[in-house]
């Protein structure tokens, strides 16, 4: 099987091209350093199967960040039949340095000048044919986002792949003499093939940035936009969630319950109240998660999060972090795991470790399910978005506390540099791929962690045989009572305690665990919980869920990225301690004030 490698600088659109070529749903966002692992897909090109590998974005083959080392390691240890060099056509004068470095290695390559639509809008003219001739390998213009020039680019890739032969790269040594030759040749090539007007630029972007990056208005606008996003997610998502829950309840009552009625009582309970009720309760929140990611995709791909990083850099620096840390924190809203891997773009180990310590406090999509459920059950519709937004703000409070406390142990002097790309709106295709990616991610977890989790919860609530399910005499009751002296000061009852324990495996299990513990689902489950706890207990529970020990996948990633046992232990113990302290302080204060 032939191997094709996608290489380019950050923010050149590699992942967008990867998605278009493979139909996959690699993470695409409009800031540097999103692609942090080796994404690959198999596709049929020129009548033969080929493996397309999307490598992390790099500025230079001699760079020292972890993701640049990943690229060098790949080039040194894998045979490659064709390199697709993706360059941002609006920054061609800077992007060709990497192309010339790769040329010096003798790799068969095609230069794809992406974002040709933006270059045209700015009045930039590129003679791709002449540029390819001077470089020594073919070049073409395209827009991976809109598909302009894609058919021609694909034909060129097919043609070059048929002619190419695999070339293993054995070493990549620093050669500054060669680098100087590259710079000299770059200037000559640009002069012959590229025409850039004197006033080239994004006038619309500049006008918007005067407001969005205003020293006084910038941050309030950012938090206002995020609040509106949560308002929209709840307003649009709640009816959709109710509709899915209604369909699942109807399927249970009309089809599944009669089908399983002939089974022994214990097996019937296991399948209906254990597996189905648990997984169905979690599944009903899929529309909310899809909406959340669609809105986040718009904010991310628009280029606005890079502005948020710029705005927050001064504050983050005081805490031992920087603007990139803020970007990774926001990435954690989707899932903590890719956000942790995104820290590979940081060269300073101290900065990276401190950033990885605060990322798990992000209000990830799994926690969002829990919060939407609890706010819908315990708060009025007008209050619920405000409650969600307060938990979002609590993410930043916990980050500030943690960073200030530990910054002395993780020092960094690495300067902060970040590109501010022009504002862009994601295409419908990009948003659909993003939504599908999250659905697929959920279904994958549903078939593993969530199903296993709700089955284990059912066993705990129904064993030993003969006891009332979820009673104090059941195994779950024993666990809840045992943990009660620790968590009761925070207002967390035994039932919620058991759900929290399973949330350690995966936060998506929390709602499914509650469905099994209470023997209810959907709106009935919400009503049942609302009868047992009040809003103070609910908010304390949500605070604990937000802050306490991250899921197993996050812990495993922390261990792999940090390569330190003591750091991993600290990353487990500190959130648990902070969660108990914050939840207990809130609960006791609220009770003292008479709530």
Q: How many Å separate Cα 218 from the centre of its chain?
A: 24
- The residues, any chain, with a CB within 8 Å of residue 66's CB and separated by 6 or more, are 344, 345, 346, 347
Share the mean pLDDT of the chain: 84
Name the DSSP class of 409: T
Alpha carbon distance 66, 562 (integer Å): 12
- The residues, any chain, with a CB within 8 Å of residue 228's CB and separated by 6 or more, are none
Q: Indicate the angle between helix axes 428-445 and 286-301, nearest 10 degrees.
A: 140
Provide the CB-side half-sphere exposure for 462 (13 A, CA): 18
pLDDT of residue 442: 65
pLDDT of residue 269: 86
Alpha carbon distance 244, 115 (integer Å): 40
CA distances to 451, 458, 476, 488 from 480, in Å = 22, 14, 6, 10
- Tens digits of per-residue pLDDT, 455-475? 888 888 888 887 887 788 888
End-to-end CA distance of the chain: 67
Asked if residues 307 and 299 have their Cβ atoms less than 8 Å apart, the reply is no
Asked if residues 414 and 333 have their Cβ atoms less than 8 Å apart, the reply is no
3-state helix, strand, coil in the chain (%, to 5): 65, 10, 25
Alpha carbon distance 494, 507 (integer Å): 18
Scanning the structure block, which residue is given the tokens 């058919």?
Answer: 151
Q: Which ranges in 194-260 belong to alpha helices (H)?
A: 203-212, 218-251, 257-260
Alpha carbon distance 295, 435 (integer Å): 10
Asked if residues 248 and 284 have their Cβ atoms less than 8 Å apart, the reply is yes
Using DSSP's 3-state secondary structure scheme, residue 566 falls into helix
pLDDT of residue 110: 93
Asked if residues 52 and 21 have their Cβ atoms less than 8 Å apart, the reply is yes
Sign of CA dihedral 455, 457, 458, 463: positive
Alpha carbon distance 99, 102 (integer Å): 5
Write out the two tokens for 5: 């490698």
Alpha carbon distance 513, 378 (integer Å): 18
Mark the ranges of the chain whose per-residue pLDDT is less than 70. 24-37, 64-65, 166-180, 198-202, 417, 434-435, 438-439, 441-443, 445-447
167 Rama class: left (phi>0) / alpha (psi -120 to 50) / beta: beta
Q: Which ranges in 252-364 belong to alpha helices (H)?
A: 257-260, 265-269, 277-283, 286-301, 304-318, 323-331, 336-342, 349-358
Instruction: Compute the residue count for the chain.
Output: 595
Residue among 593, 583, 538, 541 nearest 379 (CA): 538
pLDDT of residue 34: 46
- The residues, any chain, with a CB within 8 Å of residue 132's CB and separated by 6 or more, are 111, 138, 139, 140
Domains in the chain (CATH in brackets) are 2-195 (3.40.50.300), 219-412+431-592 (no CATH)
Sign of CA dihedral 362, 366, 368, 373: negative
Residue among 256, 533, 223 nearest 373 (CA): 533
CA distances to 159, 277, 502 from 529, in Å = 63, 15, 18
Residue among 360, 379, 334 nearest 234 (CA): 379
Torsion angles phi and psi, residue 454, rounded to 5: -70, -30
pLDDT of residue 169: 54
């Amino acid at each position: 099987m032939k191997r094709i490698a996608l290489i380019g600088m950050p923010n050149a659109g590699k992942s967008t091209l990867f998605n278009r070529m493979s139909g996959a749903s690699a993470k695409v966002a409009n800031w540097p350093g999103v692609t942090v692992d080796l994404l690959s897909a198999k596709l049929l090109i020129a009548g033969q199967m080929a493996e397309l590998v999307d490598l992390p974005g790099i500025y230079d083959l001699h760079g020292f960040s972890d993701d640049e080392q990943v690229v060098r390691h790949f080039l040194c240890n894998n045979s490659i039949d064709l390199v697709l060099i993706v360059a941002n056509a609006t920054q061609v004068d800077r992007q060709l340095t990497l192309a010339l470095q790769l040329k010096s290695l003798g790799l068969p390559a095609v230069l794809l000048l992406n974002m040709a639509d933006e270059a045209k809008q700015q009045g930039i003219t590129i003679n791709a044919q002449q540029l390819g001739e001077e470089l020594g390998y073919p070049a073409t213009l395209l827009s991976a986002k809109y598909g302009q020039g894609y058919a021609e680019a694909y034909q060129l890739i097919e043609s070059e792949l048929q002619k190419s032969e695999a070339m293993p790269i054995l070493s990549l040594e620093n050669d500054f003499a060669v680098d100087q030759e590259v710079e000299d040749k770059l200037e000559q090539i640009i002069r012959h093939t590229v025409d850039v007007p004197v006033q080239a630029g994004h006038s619309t972007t500049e006008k918007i940035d005067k407001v969005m990056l205003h020293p006084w208005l910038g941050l309030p606008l950012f938090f206002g936009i995020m609040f509106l996003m949560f308002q929209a997610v709840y307003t649009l998502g709640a009816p959709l969630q109710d509709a899915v829950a209604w369909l699942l309840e109807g399927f249970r009552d009309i089809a599944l319950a009669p089908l399983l009625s002939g089974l022994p009582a214990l097996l019937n309970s296991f399948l209906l109240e254990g597996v189905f009720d648990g997984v169905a309760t979690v599944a009903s929140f899929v529309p909310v998660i899809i909406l959340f990611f669609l809105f986040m995709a718009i904010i991310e791909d628009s280029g606005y999060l890079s502005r948020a990083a710029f705005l927050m850099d001064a504050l983050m620096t005081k805490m031992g972090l920087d603007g990139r840390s803020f970007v990774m924190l926001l990435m954690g809203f989707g899932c903590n795991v890719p956000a942790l891997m995104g820290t590979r773009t940081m060269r300073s180990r101290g900065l990276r470790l401190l950033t990885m310590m605060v990322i798990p406090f992000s209000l990830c999509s799994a926690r969002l399910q829990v919060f939407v459920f609890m706010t819908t059950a315990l708060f009025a519709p007008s209050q619920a978005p405000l409650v969600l937004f307060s938990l979002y703000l609590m993410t930043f409070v916990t980050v500030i506390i943690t960073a200030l406390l530990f910054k002395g142990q993780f020092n960094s002097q690495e300067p902060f540099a970040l590109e501010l790309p022009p504002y862009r709106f994601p295409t419908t295709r990009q948003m659909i791929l993003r939504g599908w990616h999250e659905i697929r991610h959920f279904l994958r977890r549903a078939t593993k962690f969530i199903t296993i989790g709700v089955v284990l919860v059912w066993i705990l609530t129904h064993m030993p045989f003969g006891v009332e399910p979820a009673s104090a005499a059941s195994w779950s009751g024993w666990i809840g009572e045992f943990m009660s002296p620790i968590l009761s000061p925070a207002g967390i009852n035994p039932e919620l305690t058991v759900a929290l324990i399973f949330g350690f495996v995966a936060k998506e299990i929390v709602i499914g665990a509650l469905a099994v513990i209470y023997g209810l689902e959907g709106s009935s489950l919400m009503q049942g919980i609302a009868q047992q706890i009040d809003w103070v207990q609910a908010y304390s529970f949500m605070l604990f869920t937000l802050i306490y020990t991250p899921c197993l996948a996050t812990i495993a990633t922390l261990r792999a990225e940090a390569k330190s046992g003591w750091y991993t232990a600290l990353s487990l113990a500190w959130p648990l301690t902070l969660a108990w302290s914050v939840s207990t302080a809130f609960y006791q204060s609220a009770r003292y004030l008479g709530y």
